[in-house]
Amino acid sequence: MSAIDLAGDLGLVALCLLSLNILIGLLISVRYNPRRDWPRRRLDLFRYHNWTGYTGLALTVAHPLPLAWAARHRFRWGQIAWPIHAPSQPLVNTLGAIALYLVVIVAVTSYYRLLLGRRAWKWVHYGSYLAAALFFVHGIAADPALSGAPLDPLDGEKVVIEICALVVAAASFARWRYARRHPRARRLASAVPLPYVPGFADEAPSPPPR
């Protein structure tokens, strides 16, 4: 496996995990109870939300690093951090870098949300949706082989990304429709700590109702 192939695989796995993270977050925002509803089992959605978020973030950070050792189109470290002058696909890669930094901001501010206040932190947290949109554009438009080949929307990796984008968009729209039809659920959702960060015991999620 070449360094370019490794970078592409890391990015694809990271995008799938972050898509799953958003879907779990949407379930938490409507106080979905997996013990009461399907699959009728005690599942810690907050733990899965954190695991997919932080693992996806770690893989996203690691995603471009192999390009520093690529045999062709080798990226310098500065071009990895801000690829506007990258040797290949600078605009598309810059969109990916912006998405990464947005996710970092969301993750870091989660540790300081008590200082920021619930409302301010919540608006920062919405940045994850913009990051997701940029990640999807980056993943679909980028040529993972850095060969300059034209976009093939039916390529296997592109189809996975397109499915993730459609599922996230549909779930986000359904969540918006649900909030409009259920004002009480919208008020309850504003009190849900997203995401729960270990160490903030005063904001730890209460166990699901029996």
Distance CA 44, CA 42 (A): 7
Mean pLDDT value across residues 32-48: 90
* Residue 115 belongs to domain spanning: 3-203
Q: Whole-prediction pTM value? A: 0.83
pLDDT at residue 208 greater than cutoff 50: no
The total number of structural domains that make up the chain: 1
Q: Which residues contact 94 (CB under 8 A, 6 or more apart)?
A: 82, 83, 84, 86
Residue 149 covered by a domain: yes
Indicate whether 100 belongs to any domain.
Answer: yes
20: tokens are 């799953």
- Encode pLDDT of 84-140 as tens digits: 999 999 999 999 999 999 999 998 998 888 888 888 888 888 888 999 999 999 999
Residue 99 forms part of a structural domain = yes
Whether residue 208 lies inside any domain: the answer is no
Burial class of residue 152 (count of CB atoms within 10 Å of its CB; 0-12, 13-18, 19+): exposed
pLDDT-derived band at 174, boundaries 50, 70, 90: very high
* CA–CA distances in Å: residue 168 to residues 9, 25, 88, 198: 20, 11, 29, 26
- The residue ranking higher by pLDDT, 106 or 193, is 106
Would 16 be classed as within a structural domain? Answer: yes
Asked, for residue 98, whether it belongs to a domain, the answer is yes
Residue 210 falls within a domain, yes or no?
Answer: no
Distances (CA, A) of 134 to 37, 96, 178, 204, 207: 33, 6, 25, 31, 35
Is position 209 within any domain?
A: no
